Structure 1
Amino acid sequence: MRRYPTDLTGTRWAELDPLLPDPACLAGRGGRWEKHCRRVIVDVILYVVDNGIEWRALPADFPPWPTVYKRFAAWEKVGASQRLLDALRGRVRLAEGRVAGAVGRGHGLTVGTGRGDRRPRDPWPRRGQEGPGRKRHIVVDTMGLPLAVLATPASTQDRVAARSLLRRMRDTAGKRASLVWADGGYTGPLIDWARETLHLAVEIVQRPDLPYFTVLLRRWAVEQTLAWITGHRRCVRDYERLRHHHEAMARWSMIRITSRRLTRQT
């Protein structure tokens, strides 16, 4: 019986359950059996992501917050959220008749930046750089499904952060991705670096000089994904002390969206 709107249905849990890391006692690393059901743990994580609640303020009918937080941190330490997102993305692409996993030759990716919060993470930015806070960089496929997420201090230039982001994308998509679309903030040496180091073609999608708003088809995919992520209250602002936990929250928000999209099709 579902208690909250974020609780997983049986079909969605059947998609996620095989993708989670095995418990330590079953993987030969010793330890006790897990006391709380893994499905409930995932329900709590999705509840936190969607509602933006503090870990310590979890409802009383959930497992103790230290248990959930430790499981969340342990899964993130082994890269569970990235593997979940990669597997779900591949299944959605197959269900919609696309190439599994990443875009093929002749298609492209879109890279973009979303503003984070204004917490003083970088209190002494150099002149000409962004103010305090964090920025969230993502690269998505042509369907708007993320391949990589990166959180950096707001003082980090987009062209500098894009190098780490594209390396992550290459680790995820392999050599199946050959073209990246980006906005004007990524011009300069990044284009030559991506071509020589990662064998990626970076194409800049310029905004037309028009007096009115117009949708840029290639760049709109990343704007749409950023809107999906910030539709979850935990991702509207950066509440995490650790940068990689903020990246994990963004991935869990897309895991929720992607699993719903997949099960609606099936």
Structure 2
Amino acid sequence: MARWAAAGIIGQIRDQLASRIRRDIGKGPRAVATVIDSQSVKAAETVSKATRGYDAGKKINGRKRHLVVDTRGLPLMVMVTPADLHDAAAAKEVLFRLRLMHPEITIVWADSAYAGKLVGWAKQHLNLTIKPVSRPKDASGFVVLPRRWVVERSLAWMMHARRHARDYERLIQHSETLITWAAITLMTRRLARKGATPSWPRNHAPTDV
């Protein structure tokens, strides 16, 4: 698997499966709009101190997964960092990789952590439009946020796999590869369910992008 990952084969499999699913639901094979978010997870003892960190906000010592999906929640790329790296700081590298891998993308929805100077930087250097989606100030309790719920659901799916409930990999590259492979497994199962209709949260069906 490491050789496949180094050669880009696993990424190609992921992209081909995502394109197939998009065509099956009547969309173009390549997404132009995406959603980004991150997830901090605990790291096992096998993870070195150099590749882990402490996320003070989540109170987690481990690693952070930065995931980009299309508006259907189909994964386009993942990058893993120490958990103490702020989302906006990691986003420059994430978006740079995204631009190289998917030059057709123009819009990235994100939470408020990706606002500020990053918005101007992404527009100037990558020609990407970041659209922050903030939680309503008067909201209390759990709130389904437009656009963002898609990537949050995809991150939640990862946690269903015991292997991804925490990070066990010594190398960050191995962690990224296994997360991508988990996404491939989910998409393969979806394609195997002929005629299955995706279930979306009520009143929050994704738009046609």
Same fold (TM over 0.5): yes
Instruction: Identify the residue that residue 190 of structure 2 maps to in structure 1.
Output: 261
Instruction: Identify the residue that residue 98 of structure 1 maps to in structure 2.
Output: 27
Gaps spanning 5+ residues in structure 1: where? 1-71
1:265 is paired with a residue of what secondary structure? coil
Write the letter of the residue equivalent to 1:168. R
Instruction: Identify the residue that residue 36 of structure 2 maps to in structure 1.
Output: 111
Higher-RCO chain (CA-CA 8 Å, sequence separation at least 6):
2
Instruction: Identify the residue that residue 235 of structure 1 maps to in structure 2.
Output: 164
1:113 is paired with a residue of what secondary structure? strand
Write the letter of the residue equivalent to 2:49. R
**Is 2:177 the partner of 1:248?**
yes
Write the letter of the residue equivalent to 1:220. W
Give me the whole-angstrom Cα distance separating, in 2, the residues matched to 1:88 and 1:123: 30
Change (3 A) 1:124 1:182: closer
Identity across the alignment (%): 39
The alpha-carbon deviation at position 127 of structure 1 amounts to 11
Give me the whole-angstrom Cα distance separating, in 2, the residues matched to 1:151 and 1:211: 31
TM-score (norm. length: structure 1)? 0.66
Give me the whole-angstrom Cα distance separating, in 1, the residues matched to 2:29 and 2:53: 41
The alpha-carbon deviation at position 156 of structure 1 amounts to 1.0
1:162 is paired with a residue of what secondary structure? helix
Give me the whole-angstrom Cα distance separating, in 1, the residues matched to 2:162 and 2:52: 28
2:28 is paired with a residue of what secondary structure? coil
Q: 2:118 aligns with which of 190, 201, 204?
A: 190
Gaps spanning 5+ residues in structure 2: where? 196-209
Pick the structure with more helix per residue.
1
Give me the whole-angstrom Cα distance separating, in 2, the residues matched to 1:263 and 1:241: 33
Instruction: Identify the residue that residue 106 of structure 2 maps to in structure 1.
Output: 178
Pick the structure with more strand per residue.
2
1:117–1:237 CA contact under 8 A, matched in 2: yes
1:132 is paired with a residue of what secondary structure? strand
**Is 2:93 the partner of 1:168?**
no
TM-score (norm. length: structure 2)? 0.84
When the two chains are superposed, the root-mean-square deviation of aligned CA atoms in Å is 2.2
**Is 2:8 the partner of 1:79?**
yes
Change (3 A) 1:132 1:122: farther
Give me the whole-angstrom Cα distance separating, in 2, the residues matched to 1:123 and 1:73: 19
Give me the whole-angstrom Cα distance separating, in 2, the residues matched to 1:259 and 1:128: 36
2:34–2:68 CA contact under 8 A, matched in 1: yes
Instruction: Identify the residue that residue 84 of structure 2 maps to in structure 1.
Output: 155
